[in-house]
């Protein structure tokens, strides 16, 4: 059993994320810490100029509220973390900061670009310093 489990959730694939929350509860030890994480991609400066002020902040707050609702619906205490940045780098940073033993991450059917660049799940698997469970 694991003491600290990180569950990165892609808000575009919420059903898979909710399933991974349930899975995390079964992999966690009694009194384990489960962290729900979403990474909101940074908006490049050249694009941010044309967007309404506060858009990124509103997106982060809305995502945090949605993750908090998922955590509450699970019936377990879970930490909720929403950050901005690049997905795989941020997932690895949070895992290191929180001394995570297990990352449970969803993997989607790869598109052509994934064969050239690699998916977020693949990058996390290659670079994580802890166990990673990839759920398809």
Phi-psi category of residue 25: left, alpha or beta, with phi > 0 → left and psi -120 to 50 → alpha: alpha
- Residue identified by tokens 């909101």 is 40
Q: How far apart are CA 131 and CA 19, in angstroms?
A: 19
| pTM score, whole prediction | 0.89
Angle, CA 92 vertex, CA 59 and CA 66 arms, to 5°: 30
The string of DSSP codes covering 27-38 is HEEEEEEEEEEE
DSSP 52: P
Binned at pLDDT 50, 70 and 90, residue 41 comes out as confident
pLDDT tens profile 44-73: 767 666 777 777 788 899 999 999 999 999
Phi-psi category of residue 99: left, alpha or beta, with phi > 0 → left and psi -120 to 50 → alpha: left
Q: Cβ of 29: how many Cβ atoms within 10 Å?
A: 12
Binned at pLDDT 50, 70 and 90, residue 117 comes out as very low
98 contacts 55 by C-beta, under 8 angstroms: no
**Two structure tokens written together for 134:** 């990839």
Question: Tell me, what's the pLDDT at 116?
Answer: 47
pLDDT tens profile 86-102: 999 999 999 999 999 99
Report the relative pairing of strands 131-135 and 102-106 from DSSP bridges.
parallel
**Two structure tokens written together for 117:** 């660049």
């Amino acid at each position: 059993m694991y003491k600290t489990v990180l569950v990165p959730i892609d808000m575009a694939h919420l059903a898979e994320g909710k399933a991974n929350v349930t899975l995390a509860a079964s992999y966690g030890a009694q009194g384990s810490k489960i962290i729900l994480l979403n990474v909101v991609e940074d908006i490049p400066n050249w694009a941010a100029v044309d967007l309404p002020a506060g858009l990124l902040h509103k997106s982060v707050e809305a995502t945090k509220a949605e993750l908090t609702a998922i955590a509450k619906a699970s019936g377990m205490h879970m930490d909720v973390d929403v950050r901005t940045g690049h997905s795989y780098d941020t997932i690895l940073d949070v895992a290191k900061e929180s001394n995570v033993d297990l990352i449970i991450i969803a993997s989607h059917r790869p598109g052509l670009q994934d064969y050239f660049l690699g998916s977020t799940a693949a990058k996390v698997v290659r670079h994580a310093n802890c166990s990673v469970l990839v759920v398809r």
